[in-house]
Chains A and B, each alone.
Chain A
């Protein structure tokens, strides 16, 4: 059984650099979500896709952030010109559209911006 996987698990970068994270959802899931979690807080929603369509974006997703889900399979989240405030855990989740829509989370990518 392969759950949601994320790569890399950890990323350390210098301020101003670009970073890209990848998420592979559970294979039959057509919905994919990105969340961000800072220390001591619950996860905050960033964006979600149904198949390849990006259907909702949070105001937290500034113009430095972009997410894609080509062909409705894996997704990438890119952060351009990273800032120290971007340091956080980036979580991906997937689900299959149905009434209860349980989301299954990956282990996250921990980003540290120096």
Chain B
């Protein structure tokens, strides 16, 4: 499974934008980039995914580097409810294993 690298933790302030980086230098052409987050005492929650182009949804934006070796999850206005562990995951769209391979993720702290 292709691996991703994230900082162990980040801090942000409420109502400010947050940029969460992820490196995936060994990404293959068929890998989707997925982001999930896990709030305390809950199961992981899907945030966003993309392949090549930048993506926006109601929760966040995903900016993908032109060479696809890195990506950034952008929370436009962090709230206290965004405090969670964020996981950046690669998934092969051409099948093989269907599992999600989680790393340790990155803990985001949002200060009021």
Contact = CB atoms under 8 A, between A and B. Distances in A.
Interface of A: 4, 31, 33, 35, 40-45, 48, 55-56, 58, 91, 93, 99-108
Given A42-B103, A42-B105, A100 B49 contact: yes
B68 interface: no
A42 B98 contact: no
Return the 10 tightest CB-CB contacts between A and B, nearest first: A42-B102, A105-B43, A45-B99, A105-B44, A102-B46, A43-B102, A91-B43, A108-B43, A106-B43, A107-B43
**Chain B residues touching A, majority SS:** loop
B101 A45 contact: yes
Contact of B44 (A31, A43, A44): A43
A110 to B, nearest CB: 9
A104 B43 CA distance: 9
A84 to B, nearest CB: 22
Contacts of A108: 42-43
Interface of B: 32, 34, 42-46, 49, 85, 87, 91, 93, 97-105
Nearest to A55: B98
B73 to A, nearest CB: 15
Contacts, number: 55
Given A99-B93, A100-B32, A44 B102 contact: yes
Given A42-B87, A91-B43, A91-B44, A103 B104 contact: no
B104 A42 contact: yes
Contact of B100 (A41, A99, A103): A103
A67 to B, nearest CB: 14
B93 A100 contact: yes
A6 B84 CA distance: 21
A108 B104 CA distance: 18
A105 B46 CA distance: 8
Contact of B98 (A56, A91, A104): A56
